[in-house]
Amino acid sequence: MAPPLIQLKDIALTFGGTPLLSGVELTVSESERLCLVGRNGSGKSTLLKIAAGLMASDGGSRFVQPGATVRYLPQEPDFSGFETTLAYVEAGMGPGDDPYQARYLVEQLGLTGAEHPAHLSGGEGRRAALARVLAPSPDILLLDEPTNHLDLTTIEWLEGELGARRGALVLISHDRRFLANLSRSTAWLDRGRVRQIDRGFANFEEWRDEVLAEEERDQHKLDRKIVAEEHWLRYGVSGRRKRNVKRLAGLHELRRQRRDYRGTAGSANLAAAEADKSGKLVIEAKGIGKSYERTIVDQFSIRIQRGDRIGIVGPNGAGKTTLINMLTGAETPDGGTIRLGANLEMATLDQHRESLDPKSTLMEALTGGRSDHVMVGGKPKHVVSYMKDFLFAQEQMRTPLEALSGGERGRLMLARALAKPSNLLVLDEPTNDLDLETLDVLEDMLGDYEGTVILISHDRDFLDRVVTSVIVPEGNGRWVEYAGGYTDMLAQRGADLKREAPKSTPASETERSAKNAPAATAPGKRRLSFNEKHALETLPKSIAKLQTEIAKQQQHLDDPDLYAKDRAAFDKASGALAKAQTELQLAEDRWLELEMLREEIEEA
């Protein structure tokens, strides 16, 4: 069995009282696809930083295979000291890395490379950080919430890119579909310890429930055993003293086990404060449009009725927020009409959490600084009780917002939005940073909500579970509603979403126009991409190097006495030969494929 690329043994770390990590073991082997899951605040990001060598633990050891390259994607990358995004990406390259990859990945991720890092949006910053860690093609990629701030187009591109790579991958993400499509093993960080299984995330939740059910049965047996031993202690007939002392010590040990047991964290108690029912018709839009430097929405019409769950998806910059603002009356369309139904009470969740004062406390953010009660559905509720519904401890009441984790800020925004009586919920990226358990509760709450829901989300699994129809941009300001969830939309549409090219016709509309155009107006001539040209130029050199390596290892193995003299050297040469032969086959196939494509293009 090959040695691990990264191995953490008996890792311990404590902040304050309760240990965050206690005896954690984590192993990542070559080409492994591992997802690291756990509740918000369980220490996933901290453990990943320890694996990356960026944080020291209180105890335990960290091993990294000599010569293995490691790249780590933080949730909040540091762009200071860089004048352009390309310079930032190139700074992550090593001496032997291909410099062309930096520019290629910057372009693939929708950047020019000339952007100043100080002026990047959240999505642009995330794309630049991804390009930086992907460009060197490291042996181990450690990615902390790589899909945060990304639109669906980029998420699906990233999924394909990571799936095609050979290096090992460790993922932290709240995106179920992303984890299920990429992972082949799972590490569950729970109450300071890691359980690791050789199954991907698709099987995780069923396995987790089995583990917790077994744990609950064990605790029940322990409680019964303690009761039986305490009964003996009080009423049993004393035997030999030595035997009684031993049995008493056993009872003390059982009590210690029960005392030291850390039960699972509770679930959030999400419930929207509901107002009286709205009219049957909630929103009717006829031929609405909006333009700035380009057309954002053009001649869009829709009828939204009470109880509908509408999802709005699309690339960043497509105009999702503009569309939702027009539908809810927050923004006036340039043309067309909007009619809002009777008795509407709307509650909104804004994705821009930075609008909160970071110096204010959790209590002030919930109560408005007015008292120690929160108005929930028009009725006062003590702030501590309401905090507990959203998994906040009483001690956090005076915690400044800047000290909260991303998941805690997400729960805070939900708590503020759901306190207001409503029959129309408008949610902009409600799943950002929420852990899987809170996502489950949010989905159940939206399912039970009797009002109407309009939401923007890039979480495909969440859309499939919640919405009844999806609105998608088709290019040039045209938006279309599809029945069902995200997967249903793709099946009806027959294509994935495409990112709009800046200041030009959107890619999806261009492709559809070309497909439907008459034969006389065929699309423009196919050209080799930057990456394809570069591969054609560099693959012959790579093939020559691999052929030399194969000849070298074959020469070692031609020695008939090598196995008997040095078994380790024989195994090493055999492994290197097999690896080089596999890489040569792949390189030759790729070069042949590109050469045939080049000839087809030249002959067209």
Please report, in range form, the residues annotated as the binding site for ATP. 38-45, 314-321
DSSP notation for 222-278: HHHHHHHHHHHHHHSPP--HHHHHHHHHHHHHHHHHHHH--PPPPPP-----B-S--
**3 state SS of 123:** helix
Nearest Cα neighbor of 462 from 66, 79, 177, 76 is: 177
Tokens 């770390």 found at: 13
- 506, 498 Cβ separation under 8 angstroms: yes
Report residue 228 as tokens. 């039986």
**What is each CA distance from 383 to 261, 378, 392, in whole angstroms?**
29, 14, 10
Cβ burial of 327 (10 Å; 0-12, 13-18, 19+) is: buried
- 219, 67 Cβ separation under 8 angstroms: no
HEC readout, 53-89: CCCCCCEEEEEECCCCCEEEECCCCCCCCCCCHHHHH
Residue type, 12: A
Count other C-beta atoms under 10 Å from residue 87's C-beta: 15
**3 state SS of 126:** helix
Q: Report the distance separating Cα 150 and Cα 351, nearest Å.
A: 13
For residue 374, what are the β-bridge partners?
Answer: 381
Q: Report the distance separating Cα 269 and Cα 442, nearest Å.
A: 9
C-alpha torsion 340→346→351→357, nearest 10: 130
If you ran DSSP here, which 8-state letter would residue 477 be given?
T
Q: Which helix or strand (DSSP H or E) is residue 414 part of? A: helix 406-419
Report residue 274 as tokens. 């509901």
- 72, 142 Cβ separation under 8 angstroms: yes
**3 state SS of 7:** strand
**What is each CA distance from 318 to 119, 151, 157, 324, in whole angstroms?**
20, 10, 17, 12
Is the four-CA dihedral 524, 526, 527, 530 of positive or negative sign?
Answer: positive
| Number of residues that make up the chain | 604
What residues form the annotated binding site? 38-45, 314-321
Q: Report the distance separating Cα 316 and Cα 151, nearest Å.
A: 6
Cβ burial of 374 (10 Å; 0-12, 13-18, 19+) is: buried
C-alpha torsion 457→112→102→524, nearest 10: 90
Tokens 């030249």 found at: 602
Q: Report the distance separating Cα 145 and Cα 531, nearest Å.
A: 27
- 111, 85 Cβ separation under 8 angstroms: yes
Cβ burial of 146 (10 Å; 0-12, 13-18, 19+) is: buried
Angle between helix axes 204-235 and 241-260 (nearest 10 degrees) is 150
Q: Which helix or strand (DSSP H or E) is residue 515 part of? A: helix 507-516
